[in-house]
Amino acid sequence: MPSTPAPVSLPPVRMKQDAATEAVRAGVADGTPVRRLAQITGWSVGWVSELAKEFRAKVDLPVQQSRDELDALQECIDALESLEDAARRRILLYLSDRFGAR
């Protein structure tokens, strides 16, 4: 008996730039996350993120941290918590030296 082929996953439809720009503008006003706006518009997260920053600056909205940044930070915290105290102190000292007050 022949096997059934796996369903083909189609890439998201990419909106025309004018429509995507308006969707991002509306999404920024509504607080929609950048990653979700990228999925909706079919444009890259980078493009949407830059456009969202411009819109926030124009209307004086606070800069929104991306969900990716928050997830990465949480992963770092979880990794540090799993270490022994001595190892954690060495890493925190290194990070302080590397990224401390400038």
pTM over 0.75: no
Instruction: Note whether 59 and 95 are same-domain residues.
Output: no
Ramachandran region, residue 31 (left: φ > 0; alpha: ψ -120 to 50; beta: rest): left
Q: What is the per-residue pLDDT for 73?
A: 76
End-to-end CA distance of the chain: 68
Whether 26 maps to a domain, the answer reads: yes
Distance of CA 94 to the CA centre of its chain: 26
Q: pLDDT digit string (tens) for 40-52?
A: 999 998 899 899 8
Instruction: Note whether 80 and 43 are same-domain residues.
Output: no
Q: pLDDT digit string (tens) for 44-94?
A: 988 998 998 888 888 776 666 556 667 677 778 888 888 899 999 998 888
Instruction: Note whether 97 and 54 are same-domain residues.
Output: no
Our CA angle for 90, 74, 92, nearest 5°, is: 15
Instruction: Note whether 79 and 89 are same-domain residues.
Output: yes
Whether 3 maps to a domain, the answer reads: no
Whether 8 maps to a domain, the answer reads: no
Tokens encoding 92: 């925190």
Whether 2 maps to a domain, the answer reads: no
Q: Which domain holds residue 38?
A: 13-64
